[in-house]
Structure 1
Amino acid sequence: MSTPILSPVALTNPAALIAAIPHLLGFHPENSLVLITHVNRRKPRIGIVLRADLPAPSQCHVLATQLMTPVRNAKAIAVSAVVVGGNDNPNDRRLVDAIRSVFAERGIATAHRLWVPHIGRDAPWRCYDDDACRGRLPDPRGTEFAAISVAAGVVTRGSRADLIASLDHDDGIDVAKRAELITMIAEDAELPNTPGAIVAAREKLAVVEKTITAMRTESLKLDNDLVVRLAVALREHRVRDACMDLDVEMTPAAEQLWLALTRMVPEPERAEPACLFAIACYLRGDGAMASIAIECARTADPGHELAAMLGEVLYRAVSPARLREITRRAGRIARLALAGAR
């Protein structure tokens, strides 16, 4: 499931709605249910967009029920359900019937129920409810919504697999060697909550902030020594949390750093920059990439508490504004803790 930026556009034409999906999600979905929420009765527009793998027939009602939580939290007045791919049988209505039934019980209408084999130029589409409601898609790259997305800086990728691959470890990195160095340095650290440990944590935060500042002003090369130092710094959760309360002008460079470290730091330490990257993506509306980053963090460290919390944020469709409040508060608390010893 993923949440994109809130769209100021109200799409009502089925073909235009389907063609907008890759830009709403950030990638072209395959074999998926895409649930588009519609919000604001006075000035209708698209709210969050959710994607899920197509379920087994016996699980259609279960999936529909699971989707209800984020849809209700998003204050949707209606949804449009689009089945992409599947068994190439648009007459199989079990999933869209489950969606309409479950959502109707909660007072949420289903505006459109649509099927398309894939999303691309001239792909045939049809409605489940009206056999005469059918046609072929325009080129998704040439629509008004595509132009709006490009202007907003939204990158649309070919597939979800492309998103996942974008966080893979960089080629040529000796991950095992880096893991050894990180462990060696971490073992020499002082016991937590001692004055010496707090001073050391402040020094680690200074290294992170200095790196972000350098990335803002120059083309900084992250060599092996710096990557290891940054990974060790973010292992200290007070340092990691303090990075949630950076000055606004540092945010773009910080996101670049979190992405780079996710690709360069071994497991389990890569969970820390992956979580920070997920937060940055979510706050600017890229729910799809945030979802992938959270998965990356949970794979690197299955018991990671922040990653689990962010997974709940995504599932419950917490607003970016609310997440910003939560993370900034956590960052300020961490900075107060780091100011405890001089």
Structure 2
Amino acid sequence: MTTTLTAQSPEDILAAVPVVLGFHPQDSLVMLTFGALSFHARLDLSPPADADVPAGAVEALLAPSRRHGVDRVVFVVYSDDSDLAARLAAALVPAFVADGIGVVDVLRAHRGQWCSVPIRAGARESPPRPFDDTHHPFSAQAVFEGRVTLGSREELRATLEPDVERRARWAALVEDLPAPGPAEVARANALVAGWVESGADPDDAGAAAVLRAVSRLDVRDTALYAVTRDTVRDHLRVWVSLLRGAPDAQVPDTAAVTAFCAWQSGQGALAWCALDRCFEVDPEHRLGTCLAECLVRAVPPSAWEEGGPSDPAEPERTTGADGAARVRASQFPHDELHRDSA
């Protein structure tokens, strides 16, 4: 389901941000874009303010905006640091305008109040005004559509944290299974398909079989190709459950498939949280690295279905050895880009 939000005021913008991100950002720079194919981005801002943040923000946000023909943008700085917000505005606005991208506004939000950040040197912020993004019509629409908005990115990441009891049960079962062979491709696919169709959670024996098999490249590729627009949320539900019970050795592969499902469902923030878990165990995981590149480049989920056109400027896909996730160039609409602080 695609959520359409029509923002007509700063309060609308501020209410839209947690809906499109899936959580209420803190110490963040958020960019909402508008055009034929829009995407939304978030960057971490680490207190105390880092003098290099503005330059890094320009590089991180302008490149995908230029690449995807963005018409206009709005920036929201979630911070109590007015000087940082002013420096960000001073760095971002001229760069975007010079590139032909209109800047509708730069806002600073903190503790239920917002200000308009000055763009001209020496100008002052507007007086703070209250806003409520929890009782806004956008929030009600999100609830009606079944979209959950969490209090922070940490709460979002917590939805992927290990279930200790489940992991202990499954680890013991996985250890007793032999190394997976080619026959496990069909079996693992059938098990996941059954949970997707029935809406059931993975059972212990089946989960152990899938987790033992997911180390095979052909099992992972089959898992990726089984995901469709109609089934992506159910696939995500299943793989989140598997990730929360995965033993350490199976976490990278399981987390990468989970990240793929989150990306395909338009939940970029959740995809990054899954990749966090992947890279904690295997920082150079191949599929995870490919997906991270897709998120950084703002590649849209639709690029997965478009295949590999001959024009090198268009999205391209290869297959095999985790190459299925090697999609390049294009956009990633309706969600976030995320850069962790150094």
TM-score range, shorter chain: 0.7 to 0.9
- One-letter identity of the residue aligned with 1:47: S
Segment drifting more, 91-100 vs 297-306 = 91-100
- One-letter identity of the residue aligned with 1:25: L
2:234 aligned with 1:238: no
Give the conservation status (yes or no) of the 8 Å contact 1:283–1:324. Answer: no
Aligned-pair identity (%): 25
Aligned residue number for residue 313 of structure 2: none
2:57 aligned with 1:63: yes
Deviation at 1:302, TM superposition (A): 1.3
Give the conservation status (yes or no) of the 8 Å contact 1:297–1:304. Answer: yes
CA distance in 2, matches of 1:32, 1:156: 16
Aligned residue number for residue 266 of structure 2: 285
Give the conservation status (yes or no) of the 8 Å contact 2:114–2:131. Answer: no
Deviation at 1:232, TM superposition (A): 1.4
> Gaps spanning 5+ residues in structure 1: where?
41-45, 190-199, 335-342
Distance 1:266 1:206, change over 3 A: same
Aligned residue number for residue 126 of structure 1: 115
Aligned residue number for residue 339 of structure 1: none
2:88 aligned with 1:95: yes
Aligned residue number for residue 337 of structure 1: none
Aligned residue number for residue 299 of structure 2: 318
- One-letter identity of the residue aligned with 1:230: V
* CA shift digits 1:115-162 (9 cap, x unpaired): 1113xxxx2211112758555344212222223322332210010000
Report SS of the residue matched to 1:35: strand
Distance 1:245 1:330, change over 3 A: farther
Distance 1:51 1:171, change over 3 A: same
Aligned residue number for residue 340 of structure 1: none
CA distance in 2, matches of 1:104, 1:115: 20
2:93 aligned with 1:104: no
Aligned residue number for residue 337 of structure 2: none
Aligned residue number for residue 147 of structure 2: 154
Aligned residue number for residue 108 of structure 2: 115
* CA shift digits 1:28-54 (9 cap, x unpaired): 1111111111214xxxxx921111111
CA distance in 1, matches of 2:198, 2:2: 31
Distance 1:203 1:329, change over 3 A: farther
CA distance in 2, matches of 1:152, 1:73: 31
Report the number of matched residues.
Answer: 307
Give the conservation status (yes or no) of the 8 Å contact 1:32–1:51. Answer: yes
Segment drifting more, 255-264 vs 72-81 = 72-81
Give the conservation status (yes or no) of the 8 Å contact 2:185–2:222. Answer: no
CA distance in 2, matches of 1:112, 1:6: 25
Segment drifting more, 300-309 vs 46-55 = 46-55
2:207 aligned with 1:227: yes
CA distance in 2, matches of 1:333, 1:298: 18
Q: Which has the larger radius of gyration?
A: 1
CA distance in 1, matches of 2:301, 2:260: 9
2:165 aligned with 1:167: no
Aligned residue number for residue 73 of structure 2: 79
CA distance in 2, matches of 1:329, 1:66: 24
CA distance in 2, matches of 1:220, 1:24: 27
Deviation at 1:324, TM superposition (A): 3.7
| Structure with the larger helix share | 1
- One-letter identity of the residue aligned with 2:69: K
Aligned residue number for residue 52 of structure 1: 43
Aligned residue number for residue 26 of structure 2: 30
Distance 1:92 1:84, change over 3 A: closer
Q: CA RMSD in A?
A: 3.0
- One-letter identity of the residue aligned with 1:283: Q
CA distance in 2, matches of 1:261, 1:183: 16
Give the conservation status (yes or no) of the 8 Å contact 1:268–1:301. Answer: no
> Gaps spanning 5+ residues in structure 2: where?
309-315, 323-342
CA distance in 2, matches of 1:320, 1:174: 30
- One-letter identity of the residue aligned with 1:49: H
Instruction: Give matches, 1:203-218, under 5 Å.
Output: 203-217=184-198
Aligned residue number for residue 338 of structure 2: none
- One-letter identity of the residue aligned with 2:43: A
- One-letter identity of the residue aligned with 1:268: A
